[in-house]
Every structure is written in structure tokens, then in C-alpha cells.
Amino acid sequence: MSVLPAAGVISLARGIPSPDMFPAQLLADCARRAVERHGRVALNYGPPLGFEPLREWIAERHGTTADRVALTPGSLIALNFIVRERFAGGGRAIVEAPTYDRMLRALAEAGAGVVTVDRTDAGLDLDRLQALLREGERPRLLYVLPTFHNPTGRTLTREQRVALVDFAIEHELLIYEDDPYRDVRIEGEHEPYLHALLYERGAEELALFTSSFSKTVAPGLRVGYALLPPQLAAPIEAMATHTYVSPPLLAQAQLLEFLEGGHLGPHLRHLGGFLGARRDALLRVLEDQLEGVATWTRPDGGYFLWLELPASLDATELNARAAAAGVAFVPGAGFFAGERGAGTARLAFSYPSVEEIDEGARRLATLVREAR
């Protein structure tokens, strides 16, 4: 069950960074300095919500206070804590269709009910959301991936964000904003965070946020984080204590050295160029080979784009043939709660080289055209 692709196969499947994306020499220096400067604290057990100076750095960046910041060994474990806490006594979640597949699994494991609302280029279907609430739906949260959405690569516009926040405040709906790709931007300008808009309106208790440094710096550090609304801080702290005592403080101190050294901004600009070349290589082949045959998204950042295949084509069957042709992707059906998405696929451009992407996309496009 490794997340690394099998040898010989070009993987457009897993959303993991290329090793060429890591700022390794800087991190080597930061690792040493973290031990020297913070070792007496960071080598020990410590606060279950993580290394205080990094909590403060993150709080300042997000306009909140350190007591709301929970550092976890990757953001997936924060997601799991949140789901366990919110759905301990049952209840239902509203998620986007499609949405992050690990969230669907976490909800299923917690025994939560799931209701879906479509997420398209037009944003989240607020009419459907409105109808659900009118029918008496009382969800324990709405899970949204606003930026470079996994799996589609789509991003909510500023207007769509404001409308969603208005809606959440009107209906006292807890917004769980999961946004790990936001800073991995190839072009364009940042849109405001949903939680920032909620904070501005004084609706802190409706704002729940997770992100991570796995997509921006390095997953092997395992530094994810949550910004918790006041009512969730104590229960999540107790879960962290009972699950692992305290998270890996040393890696958190190492990351802080990187951040305080001013390295994040330049590194993100470098990543934008790096991923831009890969996205463009993928888009070039799609435009060249599949124009008029399939449709796809054109993300301004992140790791993924979303392919909608010709109506007759089943992505799971296509994936089996693709494996034989030496290319892998993720069929889209797994990102839907129900029986949907048979003709969709997630293509990741973060791991292979430009040349591999070009070759892999050509193999895939050939299969699509043959299968029509």
C-alpha cells in the first residue's frame, strides 16, 4: 500500500510531490539549527497541540491566536480527530461532489451520514444547499476544498466565497475549509480564505480550517495544522494527548527555522514555476490530442486537473488498460459519495518530470481516442 508509483509506470495518479521540489539543503541547515536552538524543548514531550513558537507563527499568519492552532503529524490526522469529535453521536455531513476521498472514508468509519452538493466551475450549488436546509437537514459541518480542489483543481472565486460565507452565517452552518494546496499557486492572485471572511464577520465559531506544509515544503516533516473554533479546542487537545502524547516537535522546530529564515516565499515562487511547467506539459497534450473528445479543468495551481471522458468511457476500465500501457491515474468515482463519476479521472502533474508527463499523457490520450 505504498503511495509511491510502481517502477516503470508513469504516475499521473498520486498527489505527492516530486523529490526535486524539496528545498533539501535549506532544510538540512534548518534541521541542525532547530536542534541547537530549540533542542531542550523540541526533543522532549511537550504540548499535545504542538511546538508553541510555530503555533504562534501560524496564528499570526491567519489572524487568530495560538490557542486555536493545533499542529498534527500531517493534516489527515487532524481531519480524523475533527470527524471523530463532530460525529461521535451520529449526525450528517454535507460534502462537495466530488470531494477528497479520504474524507469520505473518515466519515464512513465514523458512521456519519453524507449529503452531497455539486461543485462545478460555477462553484458550490448554493440553491441545492438552501433546499436541503429548508427540508430540515441539520448538518454538523459543510466540508469544502476552496482552492485547487482535490480532485478537480477548481478554485472558488471571491464572489463565490463571500456568498458561501453569507449563507453559512445566515444558517449557522459550520464550514470546514480544507485548503492544503492554496499556496501552491502557478499564476493568478490569492482569494480570501473562508475562515478569514468568517473571522471578519465575527463568526469564529463557524470557522474550521485545516492545512499543511506537506504540499508547500515537505510531507516527510509531517506538519499539518488545524485552526479550531473555540468549542473544538479542548476536545481535540484531549484526543491528541490520548493518541500520541505530543506530535513531532523537532520537525515543527525545523520548519519554524525555515519559515523564520524567510525561505517560504521564494520557495513558493520556485514551486509555482516548477509545477507550471508540468501543468502546461499536461495541458498541451490534452489540447493537442483530446480537443473535442474530452473536457478538463485548467487549474491555476495545486497538483491536479480533472478530466471528463466521452460518455461511453468508463474510467476504471480505462485505468486498467492504461496500466498495461504504462501510465496510471485515479478514476474519479472514488471521489463521489454515491454511484457517480464513472466517466471522470483525476490527473496529477506533481510527481513525474515534464518529459514523463508528456509521454504519459500521450499514452493516455491514445487510449481515450481508441476507445471512443
Binding site for its own copies (CB under 8 A): 1-4, 14, 16-17, 19, 22, 24-25, 27-29, 31-36, 39-48, 73-74, 76-77, 80, 102, 105-106, 109, 214, 218-222, 237-238, 241-251, 254
What's the min distance (Å) between Cβ of 112 and its own copies?
15
Enter the C-alpha cell of residue 17. Answer: 510531490
Residue closer to its own copies by CB (options 46, 192) is: 46
Q: Angle at CA 291, nearest 5°, toward 290 and 297?
A: 90
In the complex, least distance from residue 322 CB atom to its own copies, rounded to whole angstroms = 22
Tell me how far, at minimum, the Cβ of 9 lies from its own copies, in Å: 17
Quick one: which H or E segment has residue 72? strand 69-72
8 A C-beta contact, residue 95 and residue 103: yes
Our CB check for its own copies shows the closer of 2 and 312 to be: 2
Shortest spacing between CB 140 and its own copies, in angstroms: 20
Angle at 90 between CA 163 and CA 83, to 5 degrees: 60
Give whichever of 88 and 131 is closer to its own copies, judged by the CB atom.
Answer: 88
Q: Can you say whether the dihedral through the CA atoms of 71, 74, 80, 86 is positive or negative?
A: positive
Going by C-beta distance under 8 Å and a sequence separation of 6 or more, which residues neighbour residue 32? none
Nearest approach in angstroms of CB 251 to its own copies is 6
CB nearer its own copies, residue 218 or residue 315 = 218
Contact (Cβ atoms closer than 8 angstroms) between residue 125 and residue 160: no
Integer angstrom CA distances of residue 243 from 47, 82, 233, 235? 13, 13, 15, 12
Q: Which is nearer to its own copies, 212 or 344 (CB)?
A: 212
Identify which of residues 219 and 276 has a Cβ nearer to its own copies in the complex. Answer: 219
Smallest distance from its own copies to CB 106, Å? 8
Nearer to its own copies, 246 or 353 (CB): 246
Listing DSSP states for 79-143 in one string gives HHHHHHHHTTT--EEEEEES--HHHHHHHHHTT-EEEEEEEETTEE-HHHHHHHHHTT---SEEE
In whole angstroms, the minimum distance from the beta carbon of 279 to its own copies comes to: 20
Which helix H or strand E contains 58, and what residues bound it?
A: helix 52-62
Closest by CA to 214, choosing from 198, 225, 204, is: 225
